[in-house]
A and B are shown apart, each in its own frame.
Chain A
Amino acid sequence: MNDLFRQAKWQRERELIEPTVFELSQGRSEGYYRFSIEKEMLDAVGDVQKLIPSKLRREELNLPNLSEPEVVRHFSRLAEMNYGVDSGPYWLGSCTMKYNPKINERIAASPKVRRLHPYQPEETVQGALKIMYELGEMLGKITGLRHWTFQTSAGAHGEYLGCSIIRAYQLDRGEKQRDEMLIPLSAHGSNFASAAMAGFKVIKIPVDSRGCTDMGALRAAAGERTAGMMITNPNTLGIFEEDILEIADLVHNAGGLLYYDGANLNALLGRVLLSAMGVDVAHLNLHKTFSTPHGTGGPGAGAVLVRDGLEDFLPVPVLRERDGRYYFDYNVPKSVGRIKAFYGNFEVLVKAWAYLKALGSTGLREVSGIAVLNANYAFTKIKGIREVSVIYGEDRPRKHEFVISLKEARSKIEAPALHVAKRLLDYGLHPPTIYFPPVVEEAFMMEPTETDSKEEIDHYIEVMRKILEEELEENPKTVLEAPHNSSIDRLDEVRAAREPILSWKIYERYYKGNKT
């Protein structure tokens, strides 16, 4: 057992971990705030009951009755039971859980950012628009794709918009029959659903022994029904798609567009332009690559960028600049339309802008360099651990992440990836992405990012070795029953997914009377 890490665990009763504010205030009639209406006002208004139609009137306001200190303490306790990038290593592959510099938060917290209203006239928000415009210009330089929108608020949202742009482009050319989106099985996991959501048929392309797109299969699949292809490069196995130029040619010659999923851009920052890889449309995850918080850490932002010739399809409004003045252009006739209210998650954009301004182009190149170095260092060490195997391209260098298989450990325990992941929690380490990509059995998808120190990486590797080589051998039960040191143990993940309880109202509706 590791005695160094213990997560805070605030419990009321044996089975009840930090009750909700509603439960905390049960049986109490009043909270901190009390207000009464002055008689003079009441007299002026008359019978209040008559002012509001009976249908809209509520007899009871279901608000928790807690004092300010009680509320603050409740949320502090919850925070203590949480784990985030500020707590320790977080190698959640494909998610780029890098440290989020605090200076970004400070800038975004400025009242000049916080107190803006989306309905303010353009003249009064020129500074804010300048930040957005500069961010767009910087991302354009990083990718080689010069036209952009920030409306999308997540990666998958960006993918959906990208697919919509591809469809609009094909329809504009009169190519109505192009209803197929080619997606390699090594693409980012959400691509398949995004393409389907945008109305495309999803044609999956297998991975060859190198861990790259199977070119024979791609050649067989591309044709007159191809609308486009969605590629993630480096792919979800952390391997660079070395045939990328041939892939781009193939897709273009078939009449399709090449979409780039930015999930793994951290590996390429300042190294290669997406435009040089033949990319037509891309989305970038500002909440991954550009260090803005994510993973229940705050709203995300996807930036969608397109090459010259596709700018007419971007959603409205498009932010433009003329003579040093910034304005929103709604007159974009071929536009796919709006994809979100207003202009995107502005605060997140400010954080990404601050990140890029702080790093500059030299710093950005260092980011990808160190991210790739860290991943390869960890990969080299971890693949030497007993029970670890590498299914695709074992001898090829990785980019920013790598995937290992724990299937050898099946001789010791069932579902080793799941149990070893849970055991990592006991050491204060966030586990990697597990069972993804599905082309690797018992997959562990690991991404150390550039922000972990060598000491932290070495510690992670040592913990992996200890669990796989010692604990599985000597005391598999410890692994099977993990976690032991975290605030909660095993969640019923299936039930959580099938019966999501996202509010107190839902909780009351389903569980009042038969609380489990």
Chain B
Amino acid sequence: MRNPKKVLGFLINPIAGLGGPAGFKGTDRPDIVDKALRMGIKPRAPKRGYVALSQLSKLDMKVLVPPKDMGYEIARKILPPENIEVIKLSIPSRTSAIHTKIAAKEMLNRKVDLLMFVGGDGTAKDILDVVGSDIPTLGVPAGVKIFSAVFGITPSHSGEVARKFLSEGLPLKLAEVVDVDEEAYRSDRLVIKLYGYLRVPYEPQLIQSSKQPSPLTEEEKLARESIARYVVEEMKPETLYILGPGLTVSEVAKQLGFEKTLLGVDVVLNFKLIAKDVNAIQLDKLVARHKGPVKLILSPLGGSGLLLGRGNQQIGNAVLSRINKDDLIVLATPSKLHKLKSLRLDVESELARKFSGYHRVITGYKEEVVVLIE
């Protein structure tokens, strides 16, 4: 007999996101995990899973979790023991895709009401391989890049959607899971393919849209050039400029006379490139050493409007704590911005508070639009 209580499958990919601050742009290879951990990068997936699951603490439901850091350790901090059921699965200290798949398979067999997983695009692919569109799923963003449309905008948004879905019900929608070629990505090329569809609770305000690639039209190119020209003109000496990923920002570097890593984070001081493709630790050091002003040049992720926390985790809390809202130089071509209602952040709540509110986005030469950062 089926338990009348709703059942949530909750699964964490504990290594998700490790490659981000380390500047590896992904975490798909075991050696990357080792390197990242040796560098002192702390796993972020469990913490983000905690934030998401906390939103559901008041629901009278049952949670099905894999053991240890794949779910149980977080679940027991939030939920009473009688509501937690642990999947029988032996997992090593270092998990991989296979463990995600086994756990997901069990959740599919048990027909959970919702499978909430904590990870990135790679994790979403693993889930899709096993469950297809048979059961409702929802991603908690914890990976390096989140280009698929199956994630909440932040972990707490994911938790909010899950809570709504389990308590009040929400319509379901097939949402894209994309496959990003991580080797190509590491060599600075963005190759995105549609991998398949997961069934996701439909809540457009809280769920991230899939990444919209920047169009390569002549008009867009001109727009990027005029933006970059203005940014370079306004640049000041003795100011440390951190250049985030993306085509628009890389145009700024081009106008300064060097090629920027398209998908990495580069640093400019006195109009010269001083560090290329830095990781979080290198960046923290550079920023700590610099006594003058620090400014961050970013462009939002097309489609979702996410400004921080996606594909730029090299820019960590230390940097973000040092700078103020006025130090955020946001660039977007008019056509990209036109499709976004507001800009979003996926950073810790204290930082989110600091950077939220109305902000100017540079959309052309001497042209700015006031946009809300939520």
Q: How far is the CA of A214 from the CA of B370 in the complex (A)?
A: 10
Given A204-B363, A438-B338, also A220-B369 (CB < 8 A): no
Would you give the shortest CB distance from B221 to chain A, in whole angstroms?
16
Binary contact readout A184-205 vs B (1 if CB under 8 angstroms, 0 otherwise): 0100000010001000111111
Count how many chain A residues have C-beta atoms less than 8 Å from C-beta atoms of the other chain. Answer: 18
Given A203-B360, A438-B338, also A217-B370 (CB < 8 A): yes
B368 within 8 Å of A (CB atoms): yes
A220 B366 Cβ-Cβ under 8 A: no
Q: How far is the CA of A219 from the CA of B369 in the complex (A)?
A: 13
**A-side contacts of B371, CB under 8 Å:** 206, 217
A204 B370 Cβ-Cβ under 8 A: yes
B34 within 8 Å of A (CB atoms): no
A216 within 8 Å of B (CB atoms): yes
B195 within 8 Å of A (CB atoms): no
B357 within 8 Å of A (CB atoms): yes
Given A204-B363, A438-B338, also A217-B358 (CB < 8 A): yes
A221 B360 Cβ-Cβ under 8 A: yes
9 contacts between A and B (CB under 8 A): A185-B369, A202-B367, A204-B368, A206-B369, A206-B371, A217-B358, A218-B370, A220-B357, A221-B370
For A216, the closest partner residue in chain B by CB is B358
For A206, the closest partner residue in chain B by CB is B370
For B335, the closest partner residue in chain A by CB is A438
For A203, the closest partner residue in chain B by CB is B368
For A199, the closest partner residue in chain B by CB is B366
B184 within 8 Å of A (CB atoms): no
B232 within 8 Å of A (CB atoms): no
B288 within 8 Å of A (CB atoms): no
**A-side contacts of B338, CB under 8 Å:** 438
Would you give the shortest CB distance from A250 to chain B, in whole angstroms?
13
Main secondary structure of the interface of B (DSSP, over half): strand
Q: How far is the CA of A218 from the CA of B372 in the complex (A)?
A: 11
A202 B358 Cβ-Cβ under 8 A: no
**A-side contacts of B366, CB under 8 Å:** 196, 200-202
A220 B358 Cβ-Cβ under 8 A: yes
Q: How far is the CA of A201 from the CA of B372 in the complex (A)?
A: 20
**A-side contacts of B368, CB under 8 Å:** 201-204
List the 7 closest A-B pairs by CB distance, nearest first. Answer: A220-B358, A217-B370, A204-B369, A201-B366, A202-B367, A221-B370, A217-B358
Residues of B within 8 A of A (CB): 338, 357-360, 363, 366-372
**B-side contacts of A220, CB under 8 Å:** 357-359, 370
Q: How far is the CA of A202 from the CA of B366 in the complex (A)?
A: 6
Q: How far is the CA of A202 from the CA of B369 in the complex (A)?
A: 8
Name which of A204, A205, A217 has the most chain B CB atoms within 10 A of its CB: A204
Name which of B367, B370, B371, B372 has the most chain A CB atoms within 10 A of its CB: B370
Would you give the shortest CB distance from A163 to chain B, in whole angstroms?
13
B358 A221 Cβ-Cβ under 8 A: yes
Q: How far is the CA of A217 from the CA of B363 in the complex (A)?
A: 16
A204 B372 Cβ-Cβ under 8 A: no
**A-side contacts of B360, CB under 8 Å:** 203, 221
**A-side contacts of B370, CB under 8 Å:** 203-206, 214, 217-218, 220-221
Binary contact readout A432-471 vs B (1 if CB under 8 angstroms, 0 otherwise): 0000001000000000000000000000000000000000
B367 A204 Cβ-Cβ under 8 A: yes
Q: How far is the CA of A202 from the CA of B371 in the complex (A)?
A: 14
Q: How far is the CA of A217 from the CA of B371 in the complex (A)?
A: 7
**B-side contacts of A192, CB under 8 Å:** 367
**B-side contacts of A438, CB under 8 Å:** 338
Would you give the shortest CB distance from B126 to chain A, in whole angstroms?
35
**A-side contacts of B367, CB under 8 Å:** 192, 196, 201-202, 204
**B-side contacts of A216, CB under 8 Å:** 358, 372
For A200, the closest partner residue in chain B by CB is B366
For B359, the closest partner residue in chain A by CB is A220
**A-side contacts of B372, CB under 8 Å:** 206, 216-217
For A184, the closest partner residue in chain B by CB is B370
Q: How far is the CA of A202 from the CA of B364 in the complex (A)?
A: 9
**B-side contacts of A205, CB under 8 Å:** 370
Would you give the shortest CB distance from A13 to chain B, in whole angstroms?
35
Would you give the shortest CB distance from B347 to chain A, in whole angstroms?
20
Would you give the shortest CB distance from A220 to chain B, in whole angstroms?
3
**B-side contacts of A214, CB under 8 Å:** 370
Q: How far is the CA of A218 from the CA of B357 in the complex (A)?
A: 12
Would you give the shortest CB distance from A123 to chain B, in whole angstroms?
48
For A214, the closest partner residue in chain B by CB is B370
For A182, the closest partner residue in chain B by CB is B370
Q: How far is the CA of A210 from the CA of B370 in the complex (A)?
A: 17
In the complex, chain A residues 204-226 whose Cβ is within 8 Å of any chain B Cβ: 204-206, 214, 216-221
Would you give the shortest CB distance from B278 to chain A, in whole angstroms?
32
**B-side contacts of A196, CB under 8 Å:** 366-367
For B364, the closest partner residue in chain A by CB is A202
Q: How far is the CA of A50 from the CA of B368 in the complex (A)?
A: 62
**A-side contacts of B359, CB under 8 Å:** 220
Q: How far is the CA of A217 from the CA of B372 in the complex (A)?
A: 8
